[in-house]
């Protein structure tokens, strides 16, 4: 685990950088009680001032990159992996996984109980509504709702700043 200055992990939160994974915090992040971060052989990288609220589950399998000022409401689940299931005669658990990775850019708000599936990028300033299941990329400043998540409207684009390429590596 790599720690940034001012980052606070509450006593009943759990960090599991197991199976050679890494968890890295930027500055002034907060992880509330009963949130669980499991690297699962991959990585979870958080930028500065990311808040992870109670009962969130964040995995790192294929890599989870979170930018700055990201708000993650309670009970959000982020899973950068899928089981493979093409062979109907073999148990799913024996067919391996695909691991693409998930990227969440700066200033995103994930509403409570949102679920973020593997392979997606959530663009800068976007909002994911409570209970939404994100299966595809979310454009910057979009507000998405529902299962699967769809854009209902866009926030004012003036909030958008150009993202330096190195910001999320
Ligand atoms: C996404 C959100 C911010 C949208 O707020 P808004 O812009 O004020 O949206 P509105 O209330 O005007 O709703 C717009 C439409 O989206 C629908 N909608 C809003 N939130 C929805 C949700 N979570 N799931 C499904 N549909 C939703 C509304 O029913 C409405 O549909 P309609 O046009 O057919 O009537 C808000 O609804 C939300 O989900 N907030 C998350 C709250 C939360 O998790 N708080 C935790 C604190 S960290």
Reply yes or no on whether the pLDDT at 90 is more than 80. Answer: yes
Percent of the chain with pLDDT over 70: 95
Please give the number of the atom of ligand 1 that sits closest to the Cα of 73.
48
69: pLDDT strictly greater than 90: yes
Tell which residue, 93, 161, 91, 90, has the closest CA to residue 123: 161
pLDDT in tens, 102-150: 999 999 999 999 999 999 999 999 999 999 999 999 999 999 999 999 9
For ligand 1, pick from 130, 143, 151, 155 the residue to mutate: most ligand atoms within 8 Å of CB: 130
Distance 163 CA to ligand 1 centre (A): 27
DSSP 93: G
Least confident range from 81-85, 118-122, 153-157: namely: 153-157
* Structure tokens that stand for 103 in this block: 């990227």
Contact 152/141 with Cβ under 8 angstroms? no
CB 60 within 8 A of CB 44: yes
pLDDT of 17: 75
What tens digit of pLDDT does each residue of 39-64 get? 999 999 999 999 999 999 999 999 99
Residue 148, both tokens: 């699967």
Distance of CA 65 to the CA centre of its chain: 7
127 CA to centre of ligand 1 in angstroms:
10
Confidence of residue 162 (pLDDT cuts 50, 70, 90): low
In contact, 61 and 77? CB cutoff 8 Å: no
Does the beta carbon of 130 lie inside 6 Å of ligand 1? yes
User: What mean pLDDT do residues 85-103 have?
Assistant: 97
Q: Which residues pair with 78 in a beta bridge?
A: 58, 116
């Amino acid at each position: 685990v790599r720690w940034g200055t001012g980052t606070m992990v509450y006593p009943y939160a759990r960090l599991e950088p197991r199976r050679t994974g890494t968890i890295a915090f930027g500055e002034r992040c907060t992880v509330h009680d009963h949130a669980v971060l499991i690297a699962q052989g991959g990585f979870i990288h958080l930028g500065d001032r990311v808040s992870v609220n109670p009962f969130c589950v964040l995995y790192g399998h294929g890599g989870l990159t979170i930018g700055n000022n990201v708000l993650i409401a309670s009970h959000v689940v982020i899973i950068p992996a899928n089981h493979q299931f093409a062979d109907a005669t073999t148990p799913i658990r024996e067919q391996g996984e695909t691991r693409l990775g998930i990227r969440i850019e700066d200033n995103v708000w994930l509403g409570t109980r949102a679920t973020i599936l593997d392979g997606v990028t959530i663009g800068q300033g976007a909002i994911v509504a409570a209970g939404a299941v994100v299966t595809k990329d979310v454009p910057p400043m979009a507000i998405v709702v529902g299962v699967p998540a769809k854009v209902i409207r866009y926030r004012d684009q003036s909030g958008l700043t150009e993202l330096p390429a190195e910001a999320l590596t």
